[in-house]
Amino acid sequence: MPAVVAVLLLLAGLSEAAGRLLPVVARLSGASRRRVVGLMLAGAIVDGAVFALWPLSAWTLAELVLTTAPSEEAALVWTPGLAAPLLLAAVLAFPLLGPLLHLLLMAGVGAGLATALAATAGVGWWDAAGCVAVAGVGLGVAVEGVRRLVVRLNTRRAPEPVT
């Protein structure tokens, strides 16, 4: 993966983490700056890794499901043109600002990946779009599960009353 693409994916992960974390931090009182920065960096790495795995997951799914298996020589990879729209995730990931816009952005990025997968693998666009969609939803569900687990583990519970 070229360094430009890695930086774009990391920045997209940071923007996604900021969009999801900052509204939550705004509601919390007493959150330390160090903890917020740590959560942002961890979120950036996780979201960047999920973004990086999206084409690989779609490619693997295409190999497993489609009858005309893609060749092993060329794999679907991110290019700067495909990864650049992900940088908009900071604005669009805010829960109250635009969940629909965020979904449309991901659908647009997914359509670009589907076009690249169809051209690289030599399959139909709809088949490629299905593989990209299933891979994206699977990764999205997995990362949402991790987010909920982290929130659950970091939530302070009120002490039980002594009776």
Mean pLDDT of 13-30: 73
% residues pLDDT > 90 (the chain): 4
Closest listed residue to residue 79, CA positions, set 15, 163, 27, 9 = 9
CA dist 128 → 5, 38, 97, 121 (Å): 22, 37, 31, 9
Mean pLDDT of 24-31: 69
Is the CB of residue 10 less than 8 Å from the CB of residue 50?
A: no
Taking the model in full, what pTM does it have? 0.76
% residues pLDDT > 70 (the chain): 77
| Cα dihedral: 90, 93, 99, 102 (round 10) | 60
Amino acid at 43: G
Residue 118 has pLDDT above 70, yes or no: yes
**Tens digits of residue pLDDT in 75-95:** 677 777 777 777 665 555 555
Greatest extent of the chain over all pairs of C-alpha atoms, in Å? 69
Structural domain boundaries in the chain: 3-154
- CA atoms 31, 37, 19, 53: torsion sign: negative
Q: What is the model's pLDDT at position 71?
A: 59
Is the CB of residue 80 less than 8 Å from the CB of residue 112?
A: no
Alpha-carbon span 145 to 138, nearest angstrom: 11
